[in-house]
Structure 1
Amino acid sequence: MKLALIALVSCLALSVKSYTFVSSVSIPFGIASTGATLPYYHRKNVPVVDVQSTDLICRTPDITAKVGPFVIEAGNNIRVYWASDTPNSPYSGNKPTGPCVFWLSPLEKKGVGKVWSKVHEYTNDGKASGSAWCSAKIDSNGGFYEFNIPSDIIPGKYILRSEIIDLLDAYVSNYDDYAMGAHFYSNCFVLDITGNGTAPLKNPVSILETYKKYYKTPMFPIGTDDSKFTLPGPAPYTTGKP
């Protein structure tokens, strides 16, 4: 009975969760993108809870379809904005709670296979308090998060995958009940990165293979110290480091 009650509560929590997604990107103090993000997709894909589904990559079968690239010079900061429920709504309501992570992949690879390199992540700055999660930082900033594009990467068109991971139900696996487990709020958009860099992306991995371990094991087991939480995948690549 207790397990059934937990499952019911989790289902109810999922049903009222905001449909958080990336609404736009910009350069700080610059002009916001109007065409970089993918169109608003069906709510059934937000959040992704099935870590065996290709929805985990970008929540759309064709991440290159009718998406205008956002031009940014390598080495600049990019600012990613989130909204909730509808494309023009503010970042508000019952938002996810947890870390965020950003990956780059060459556009021509279409996100398939070992093509994703992590370029930035933020959990909670090593703090034990749950209020220090990346999601709280986004909330306090009014819905945006800012990070640096490595200055030495080869110019070209890339897919940027942004993600907030909701850990509310991540004390159980994503296997037994898809209303339980970690909830992945992933979005992709296209960047046209300019500059004179010569470095290829480092440590590329498959998103599906990297997240596969959360298929049958909890991502954030009960009793885990918040400050010791580790995100999926290798350490982020930064300029001049392998």
Structure 2
Amino acid sequence: MVFKLTSVLALVAALAVTGNAQRQIQGITFAWNPDTPNGSHNLPKNALAMAPISDLNSKAFTCRTNGLNFPNIKSYSSTGGEMFIVAWDMNALNSTDGPKLNGPCNHWMASTAAGTDNLKWFRIGEVGYSAEEGWCTDKIRREGQLVVSMPNDLLPGEYIFRNEVIDLTYAGKTYTDDPTMGAQFYADCLKYTYSGGKNPKEVTTGLVSLPGAYLATDKGLLLNLTADGKPPGGKYTVPGPALHKQPNPGSA
């Protein structure tokens, strides 16, 4: 799938929203056709929660909201295999108010075909740590965005996309042992319609519940970062179930 990266980046820049919103998605750009109507969306101001969640059993853990109360972008219809941009407010990300976030990102999806009471989630992507690029949070601070690839082998229907940033600044102890500590989760959710890709099939592996997918003692969630915010030994594995197997490029 070919798209104009320069056009996409221009739209991402336009999505940045000034104000006091802290560390949340500000908008998305549908990167496969950014010049068409409804190609980009600013989310409603204050639509998403701002505070992180460290209690892995909290009912608000899934989307940082009370249940699944989040913006519904009804105009998005995908055939799969596309990419879209998740953008943040650069003013908030570069703010000196509060500690610098250090940690990975996970991208999740869940089908609402069986309702929304007991959603089963699967991971479609991750950005962890490398010596060259740093953390996912470093990438967001540099670029204000992440590019996410959508699977092209899903059944048609409504899905929820969940973007998750995990801050490990206080991950030296669990939240249970010390309520002022623990990995902090910044998760935001969006709904969209998927019209079906090539060779669609039901996802049957790697399905988990949220909350429920993580344990506080998971290797990627309980660790002491170095003084300069790096993982111990310079190596890190993003927590979560196995990634949904991505289709071959161009097979959509």
Query: When the two structures are superposed, what TM-score results if normalisation uses the length of structure 2?
Result: 0.72
**Equivalent residue, structure 2, for 1:27:** 30
- State the one-letter code of the partner of 1:74: G
Against the structure 1 CA distance between its residues 149 and 234, is the aligned structure 2 distance closer, same or farther, given a 3 Å change threshold?
A: same
Counterpart pick for 1:57 among 62, 71, 83? 62
The aligned amino acid for 1:208 is: P
Cα pair 2:164 2:186 within 8 Å, conserved: yes
Rounded to whole Å, the distance in 2 between the matches of 1:214 and 1:148 is 28
Q: Judge conservation of contact 2:23–2:92 (CA < 8 Å) in 1.
A: no
Query: Separation in 2 of the partners of 1:67 and 1:159?
Result: 9
Residues 23 and 88, structure 2, Cα contact 8 Å, conserved in 1: yes
Q: Unaligned stretches of 5+ in structure 1?
A: 1-17
Letter in 1 for 2:201: A
Q: Is the 8 A contact 1:63 1:189 kept in 2?
A: no
What is the TM-score when the length of structure 1 is the normalising length?
Answer: 0.75
CA pair 62-109 structure 1, distance change in 2 beyond 3 A: farther
Q: What residue is the counterpart of 2:89 in the other structure?
A: 83
What are the superposed Cα offsets for residues 146-174 of structure 1, whole Å, 9 maximum, x if unpaired? Answer: 02101111122100010110011112112
Of 49-58 and 200-209, more deviation after overlay is shown by 200-209
**Number of aligned residues:** 211
Name the counterpart of 2:136: 134
2:185 counterpart residue number: 184
Deviation at 1:122, TM superposition (A): 1.0
- Structure having the higher helix fraction is 1
Distance 1:50 1:65 in 2: 20
Q: 1:183 to 1:102 in 2, by over 3 A?
A: same
* SS of aligned partner of 2:160: strand
- The answer as to whether partners of 2:218 and 2:239 remain within 8 angstroms in 1 is no
Do the aligned partners of 2:28 and 2:40 also contact (CA within 8 Å) in 1? yes
In structure 2, relative to structure 1, the CA distance for the partners of 1:133 and 1:205 (3 Å cut) is: same
Offset at 1:39? 5.2
Q: Following superposition of structure 1 onto structure 2, how do residues 85-104 of structure 1 map, counting pairs within 5 Å?
A: 91-94=93-96, 95-104=100-109
Structure 1 window deviating more from structure 2 (216-225 vs 189-198): it is 216-225
2:239 maps to a residue whose letter is L
Distance 1:159 1:38 in 2: 20
Structure 2: gaps of 5 or more residues: 1-20, 226-231
In the alignment, what sits opposite 2:77? Answer: 71
SS in 2 for 1:59: coil
Kindly state the Cα deviation for residue 218 of structure 1 after the two structures are TM-superposed: 7.9
The answer for the alignment partner of 2:167 in structure 1 is: 166
Q: Go from structure 1 to structure 2 and tell me whether the alpha carbon gap of 1:181 and 1:21 turns closer, same or farther (over 3 Å shift).
A: same
Q: Give the C-alpha shift of residue 96 in structure 1.
A: 2.1
User: For residues 59 and 189 of structure 1, what CA distance do their matches in structure 2 show?
Assistant: 12
